[in-house]
Structure 1
Amino acid sequence: MSSAKTVAATVVRRLTRWGTASVVLGGALALFPRTRAFGLQNLMWGAIDVALAEFTRRQGGVPKKRMLRRILLVNTALDVGYVATGAHLAVRTPSLNGRLSPAEARGHGLAVIIQGAALFVIDLTAARRLR
């Protein structure tokens, strides 16, 4: 069992690293037509992750252990929703009224699955440390 402050710092560090890697790799993949959708989706998720980590870091205060665990568990449930949404995009390949090709839908969907799964691991691991 860890303190809320230690767990929060670990989450911020992991989110920053994951977000930075997602921005860099996603940006590189977005340069190529075949992987553009996958790359853009990862780049956007990574930018949001880095921004959230920085916002959290600047806030300074850490919620009490019980509240932080509750927040992490809610986030874990949301992460499952992200994975399900990504799976829908990847498998059903909706065109969204002609705005997406099947390949683009698959690329976006696979990226959302990966991002949701990574966040699931980060959030659940942290929540478990607060038991």
Structure 2
Amino acid sequence: MVTRLALLVCSLASILTLQAQPAETPATYTARRATLDQRGMLVLGSWAAATIGVSGARYFATEGKEKYFHQMNVGWGVVNLALAGTSFLAARRPPTETSRPELVKAQLRTENLYLLNAGLDVAYVATGFYLKERAKSRSSATRHDQLRGYGESLLLQGGFLLAFDGVLYVAHHRHGQHHLYPLLSRLQVGPGYAALVLPIR
């Protein structure tokens, strides 16, 4: 489980490579923000599809806590796939933000959303530990296996989502720092020059 999470975190880090080129206009900034969202939803959708495929097959080939582990994974996969699909389509729509204040609001709204999600992910992981601990006190073997399997699934899915939301928060935060906030500044400084910029709206 730890190896899977490590590989997924490494692949998520590739999202951050979007920051290579500076944005010069609000339209360019908005397009790149949408690209970040689309890449993130592709990662989430791929994880969800892989979860459904692997755990869907393993559910019929396992017994005990593993069966419940894969059962819970399939449920998570269906929900994540639906969220990824709708969010991906939403990111493809033409942007509605046109003014600089609207761009800032959208930027902060996106960052806050991923922070909120990260808080929920921590709760999922904590619940996973709780279920595993509670399983120890169950006298019924079936109930023990169920709680343990569900707990391990919550640890895996919550751990992935925590890494996912954390990486996307950092990606969007850096994108705003490097591309949006310079658009709002009246003074731009670069190698060998300083320029006073007067926004026209």
Give the TM-score of the pair, scaled to structure 2. 0.59
Aligned match for 2:162, one of 116, 120, 124? 120
Corresponding pairs, count: 129
Aligned to 1:48: 79
Asked whether the 8 Å contact 2:42–2:88 carries over to 1, the reply is no
Pairwise CA RMSD: 2.2
Aligned to 2:184: none
Task: Identify unmatched segments of 5+ residues in structure 2.
Answer: 1-15, 20-31, 96-104, 174-201
State, as a whole percentage, how many aligned pairs show the same letter: 26
For 2:75 and 2:36, locate their aligned partners in 1 and report how far apart those are by CA, in whole Å: 25
Which stretches of structure 1, 4 residues or more, deviate above 4 A after TM superposition?
Answer: none
Asked whether the 8 Å contact 1:95–1:105 carries over to 2, the reply is no
Aligned to 2:58: 29
Asked whether the 8 Å contact 1:38–1:111 carries over to 2, the reply is yes
Aligned to 1:17: 46
Give the TM-score of the pair, scaled to structure 1. 0.87
Is the aligned partner of 1:84 residue 2:126? yes
The offset of 1:79, in angstroms, is 0.2
Asked whether the 8 Å contact 1:76–1:124 carries over to 2, the reply is yes
Task: Identify unmatched segments of 5+ residues in structure 1.
Answer: none
Structure ID, larger Rg: 2
Once the two structures are superposed, what CA deviation does each residue of 1:50-106 show, in whole Å capped at 9, x if it has no partner?
01011112224478222111101100000000000111111212889x7x6111110
Asked whether the 8 Å contact 1:29–1:39 carries over to 2, the reply is yes
